[in-house]
Amino acid sequence: MCELGERLRRAREERGLSLREAAERLALKVQVLEALEGCRFAELPEPALARGYLRRYARLLGLDPEPLLALYPGASPQEATPPPRRRGKGILWAWALAVLVLGAMGYGAYLWLRPAPAQVVSLPPEAPPKSPERYPLQVESDPPGARVYVDGFYLGQTPLRSPPLEGGKRHLRLDLPGYAPVEEEVVLDRPLALRYRLAPRPAEPQAAPPAQAPPAQAPQALPQGRLVLKLEGRSWLRVMQGEKRLYEGIPEVGAELAFEPPVEVRAGNPGAVRVFLDGQDQGLLGEPGKPLTRSFP
């Protein structure tokens, strides 16, 4: 993969976006973004239009478009024609005379047939792109201490005062052990201050013990010799087996994905992914909100 495609792919994964989500935000086809990240420039439309797509994609990912446009390939230089062989003074003089005659005739024809000089029209400079608006978000909960996630990324615990976030529709989730989670979509078009009252989870009724307890059975174990990824929050995932892509997307919270090692796992929010290997709990894949890649041989 070339440097241009690698920068785009790394920035998209750090934002926790899949190719389909990025294409929907830009109103483009997924194949266009795949061609840009894969450096398959022959699959893109004409260069002027493709460079416009690259500029919009870079701004969505929070990158400066100019260094990326400098990496976009230009026209390939033409091969230089080999110099003619020297065939003697007589032939050289004949060629020189013919060139002079033809040049004089061509210049005379040009003076006779040349069009009127074109009028130069100066165009106004292109207006600089407008950066997306950003707004602060304040979240409080009763009781406090709830973990706050925005679009699957962990921001901290309540009471929370986040730095300015990019405006638009955002998915908000609050989690606190012993309380029902809160999930809703908020529109961040101005500074928001939100407050939630968390509802305790209802206690599960305990069944009376039977008169004669049956022999205890071993709990159902996770598949042996397999890697299981359990989603405790929202996170973008990509699972590769060599050059083969086994999975890419954002699973539902609570989903369990099983794979046969060896595999390589890339996560946008590792703190939301719990790992089980050979039926044993290996803990979380990594720290919340810090994308990483981890191999399981």
Q: For residue range 52-76, what is the model confidence (pLDDT) as tens digits?
A: 888 998 898 888 989 888 888 763 3
Which 8-state DSSP code applies to residue 288? T
Write the DSSP assignment of 7-62 as a string of letters: HHHHHHHHTT--HHHHHHHHT--HHHHHHHHTT-GGGSS-HHHHHHHHHHHHHHTT
Q: Report the share of the chain in percent with pLDDT over 70.
A: 80
The pLDDT score that the predictor gives to residue 179 is 92
The tens digit of pLDDT for each residue in 88-135 reads 567 888 888 888 888 888 877 777 777 656 565 566 666 666 677 899
CA nearest to 72, candidates 87, 57, 90: 57
**Is the model's pLDDT at 22 over the cut of 90?**
no
Provide the 3-class DSSP secondary structure of residue 101.
helix
- For residues 165-188, give the mean pLDDT: 89
Domain with CATH 1.10.260.40 in the chain: 3-71
The pLDDT score that the predictor gives to residue 77 is 38
Rounded to two decimals, the pTM is 0.31
The tens digit of pLDDT for each residue in 223-265 reads 557 889 999 999 999 999 998 999 999 999 999 999 989 999 9
Distance CA 272, CA 286 (A): 8
Domain with CATH 2.60.40.1120 in the chain: 134-197
CATH fold of 134-197: Immunoglobulin-like (2.60.40)
CATH fold of 3-71: 434 Repressor (Amino-terminal Domain) (1.10.260)
With tokens 């994905």, the residue in question is: 257
Distance CA 31, CA 19 (A): 9
pLDDT top residue among 170 and 214: 170
